[in-house]
Amino acid sequence: MYLNRFFRWIAMLFLLGAGVFFMLGSALGSGPVTSNAGPPISKEEKIANLKASKKAYENDNERLKEKWTEVNHRILNPGVVTKTMSVLTSGKSGESDEWHKTHLELIPLEIKISQNASELKKIDWEIDKLQDESKHSCFPKDTKVLMANGNLKSINEVSLDEYIMTYDIAKDTLSSSKINEIYISPNNHYYVLNDVIRATAYERFLTQNGWKKIRDIEISDMIFDGKSFTTVTSIQKVEDMLTVYNLNIDTNHNFFVSKDGEKPFLVHNSGGGGGGGK
């Protein structure tokens, strides 16, 4: 009896060992694990994909905000409010229930708008990490600045307390303002608009949709030149180490930059202020 039991244990151990050996052999003989994901995505492709996602979220939020405005208009419609108040004071529920249902339509819209805004922040963070761009919003030294007297001067040659041309957006008129501060810093890149203006990623230009960083400007956007809007036909990024400059302006918080006396474009100053626009 003991002998039979001994042989049964031996047989069980043998089968268990054979099973383990088989599994190990299968795993080792299967070769390396391969992926069907295709070739690695380049940094440029990742950024392009993120920007496409950003555009989709922005468009979705525009649609949601339009819907929110339409629903809110129905709630605030004087006729609806009057009827609702009449129903509430009379103790009847018909139109009051309808008013509450309409009001509840706002909640999912507001939640989705908030979620989209959160996703947009994440996308911006991912783009920032991939692009690794210096945060200074500035211009190369040969960028021309429109002075108050109408002359052009290289940005690296202007002095504190000089007056330059600015733009009062509220009054739609040119005016002059004093230079309060001059900033000089190293940078690792610049963008080129229309093969003319060079500026770093965070420099803001006045577009048809308000102030916009050059890194976010797209082909067919319109940028302001003091009189009209010029269409953006090309934009290129150049990675290069260079010294860049920017100004802080006393009033209006904007100024005009140009290249060799060509059409100037309105840009936001550095270090605060609303730029006189949105």
246 and 158 assigned to the same domain: yes
- Contact between residue 243 and residue 141 where contact means Cβ atoms under 8 Å apart: yes
Q: Is residue 207 part of a domain?
A: yes
Q: What is the total count of domains within the chain?
A: 2
178 and 254 assigned to the same domain: yes
253 and 147 assigned to the same domain: yes
Nearest to 165 by CA among 45, 64, 39, 266: 266
Question: Which residue is associated with the tokens 């009189």?
Answer: 227
Q: Is residue 21 part of a domain?
A: no
CB burial class (10 A; 0-12, 13-18, 19+) of residue 39? Answer: exposed
**Start-to-end Cα distance in the chain:** 95
**Could you give the CA distance from residue 216 to residue 201 in angstroms, rounded to a whole number?**
8
pTM: 0.60
123 and 148 assigned to the same domain: no
Q: Encode pLDDT of 48-94 as tens digits.
A: 888 889 889 889 999 999 999 998 888 787 555 455 445 445 555 55
Amino acid symbol at 158 = V
Q: Is residue 168 part of a domain?
A: yes
69 and 145 assigned to the same domain: no
Point out the residues of the chain with pLDDT beneath 70. 1-38, 78-99, 132, 134-136, 271-278
153 and 259 assigned to the same domain: yes
Residue 259 confidence (pLDDT): 84
Number of CB atoms found within 10 A of residue 166's CB = 26
Q: Is residue 19 part of a domain?
A: no
Domain containing 149 equals 139-268
